[in-house]
Amino acid sequence: MGQEIERKYLVNHSKWKQLAKPEGELYRQGYLVTDLNKTIRVRQAWGKGFLTIKGPSVGARRLEYEYEIPFKEAEELLSHFAVSELSKVRYKLPIGNKVWEVDQFQGDNAGLLVAEIELESEDEVFDVPDWIGEEVTTKQEYYNSNLTTNPYKNWKPE
């Protein structure tokens, strides 16, 4: 059974700007299905296409199945079947024995920076860089699928 254990954090903008980082990769992703119990996503990145099915989140854990599909088919699925879509640039930064993935969102979500780290277990100990801010793992408004329907530009400052 496929499973993902992932924690998400906000990124400190000023520290991120000062950080030497690798070149990012543009992601285009759209959702064929989004509800509380499942999402079905199509993504284009690295010149490849991906179809991903995710179950509901329970803490930092959820079922996940991902399959590579032809890039052209991903483009067709996004263009003809996606009910919502977003784009972002993803940066991959190795720190300790893990890779942090930082998403710099574009379009209606511009200004939002979210870092993710995939883990082997929910209680795994890992190195936290100084540019990491508040944990938002369980905050549903930060789920990519929710950002397509309630984008960052519409959020009220707290």
- Tens place of pLDDT for every residue, the chain, 158 residues? 689 999 999 999 999 999 999 999 999 999 999 988 999 999 999 999 999 999 998 889 999 999 999 999 999 999 999 999 999 999 999 999 999 999 999 999 999 999 999 999 999 999 999 999 999 999 999 999 999 999 999 997 76
Using only C-alpha atoms, the chain has a radius of gyration, in whole angstroms, of 15
pLDDT at 78: 97
pTM of the model as a whole: 0.93
Does the domain made of 3-154 have the CATH classification 2.40.320.10? yes
Q: Is 149 helix (H, G, I), strand (E, B) or coil?
A: coil
Find the catalytic residue in 9, 27, 31, 91: 31
- Has 65 been annotated as catalytic? no
